[in-house]
Amino acid sequence: MATLAEPAIQFTRLPHPAPVAADVRAAVVADPGFGKIFTDHMVVIDWEEGKGWHNATIGPREAISLDPAAAVLHYAQEIFEGLKAYRLADDSMALFRPEANARRFNQSAERLAMPALPEDTFVEAIKQLVAADKDWFPEVEGGSLYLRPFMIATEAFLGVRPAKQYKFIVIASPAGNYFKSGAPAVSIWVSDYTRAAPGGTGAAKCGGNYAASLVPTAEAFARGHDQVLFLDAAEHRWIEELGGMNLFFAFDDGRLITPPLGGTILPGITRDSLITLARDEGLTVSEEPYSLDAWKADAESGKLIETFACGTAAVVTAVGTVADRNGTFTIGSGGPGQLTGKLKDRLVEIQRGSAPDPHGWVVKL
Ligand SMILES: *Cc1c(COP(=O)(O)O)cnc(C)c1O
């Protein structure tokens, strides 16, 4: 909906009456965990039909007021993104492929009948927030500032149609090392539920997908597993992805397989980056359907040597065991494999500026 003629949006800085005291902040960022502590500021931009994006502010992070009839509360017109600001060796900060998040955000917006946000505004909003909250960067090994841009339909109207008013908001949360290095491989439960169906919203990063995955995820936890895996909706045979991470399968002949993007899988930026890095390493990567049956047979024959999951939050995580109603099988030795560790290190080194960035992915702040 943005046109090229639209002038770049200007952000108004609202003063913060009471930022968190430095000593309190230092104490919380020393052990941030994930997603439970938030910084002082947030970005808000409004959209209205006929007016477009306007009223861009960066101000105190505070509760937002919504009419109880706001469309997001009834029909779940909501999308989000997740990315991190990293600290580089020279103490400066950087983002990793933020324009890819901006593009995906607009693809999600299109599927949820929401207005597009100019990509440069998306990236600028994030830069402004990181600059305002740079003191919240956690001083822990592997720490990052996790950024959560999202958009909600705010119009008060109970009819079923796309809303005519929205808010784009960005909040930030200091994050520790999600899975510390040397983390054990995770155990996976193959769900009987499906996450996404052809023609549905599986490729959109929308809250509704997550609402629907909570019961399957709780079931996996209750059975003693760490993560849930979803198969395709039509045949319940083809591997799709975990609750919030994409999957890769590594074979003894140097091949790597990842399920293809066909509208039911979230197009992960980590997934895309690892495809490139694996090819750089001389591996053959194919995006092709891979079945649960083949996975089990290949793990048992030894053809399949490693499986890993990937996403911004946890980067790269090895899969150790897989269970469904028919039993359990183990991948390799059941622990993190060599290729998993190597690809993770390659990616993390680029993100943190300790290795060259041949693909121009790092955006310095
Ligand atoms: C966000 C997300 C991913 C991972 O995407 P990244 O861009 O790599 O962080 C994978 N699956 C789902 C369902 C997601 O929401």
Strand, coil or helix: what is 260?
A: coil
- CB of 269 closer than 6 angstroms to any ligand 1 atom: yes
- Do 227 and 299 belong to one domain? yes
User: Residues 108-127: what's their mean pLDDT?
Assistant: 98
- Do 114 and 248 belong to one domain? no
- Do 99 and 209 belong to one domain? no
Going from the Cα of 198 to the center of ligand 1, the distance in angstroms, rounded, reads 18
Please indicate, yes or no, whether the overall pTM of this predicted structure exceeds 0.75. yes
Element (H, E) at 120: helix 119-132
Is there a domain that residue 287 lies in? Answer: yes
Q: Is the pLDDT of residue 34 over 80?
A: yes
- Do 77 and 218 belong to one domain? no
Closest C-alpha residue for ligand 1 atom 10: 245
| Phi, psi (degrees; rounded to nearest 5) at 280 | -60, -35
Residue span of the structural domain in which 289 resides: 185-351
User: Which CATH number covers residue 15?
Assistant: 3.30.470.10
Closest C-alpha residue for ligand 1 atom 12: 244
- CB of 227 closer than 6 angstroms to any ligand 1 atom: no
- Do 161 and 189 belong to one domain? no
Q: How long is the chain?
A: 365
Q: At residue 314, what is the residue type?
A: A
- Do 196 and 144 belong to one domain? no
pLDDT in tens, 138-152: 988 889 999 999 999
- Do 151 and 254 belong to one domain? no
Number of domains in the chain: 2
* Confidence band, pLDDT 50/70/90 cuts, at residue 89: confident
- Do 314 and 250 belong to one domain? yes
* Confidence band, pLDDT 50/70/90 cuts, at residue 31: confident
Q: Of 118, 146, 177, which residue is a domain's last?
A: 177
**Distance separating alpha carbons of residues 264 and 202, to the nearest angstrom:** 4
pLDDT in tens, 305-355: 999 999 999 899 999 999 999 999 999 999 999 999 999 999 999 999 999
Q: Of 143, 177, 211, which residue is a domain's last?
A: 177
Q: Of 177, 196, 225, which residue is a domain's last?
A: 177
Report helix, strand and coil shares of the chain as percent, to nearest 5: 25, 30, 45
Return the minimum-mean-pLDDT range out of 24-28, 128-132, 342-346: 24-28
Is there a domain that residue 356 lies in? Answer: no
As a whole number, the mean pLDDT across the chain is: 95
CB 281 within 8 A of CB 340: no
**Distance separating alpha carbons of residues 177 and 194, to the nearest angstrom:** 30
User: Which CATH number covers residue 245?
Assistant: 3.20.10.10
CB 170 within 8 A of CB 42: yes
**Distance separating alpha carbons of residues 78 and 109, to the nearest angstrom:** 8
- Do 65 and 190 belong to one domain? no
- CB of 207 closer than 6 angstroms to any ligand 1 atom: no
- Do 164 and 190 belong to one domain? no
Strand, coil or helix: what is 236?
A: coil
Q: Is the pLDDT of residue 182 over 90?
A: no
Structure confidence at residue 142 (pLDDT): 86
pLDDT in tens, 252-288: 999 999 999 999 999 999 999 999 999 999 999 999 9
Q: Helical H runs in 205-358?
A: 207-222, 269-280, 292-301, 338-351
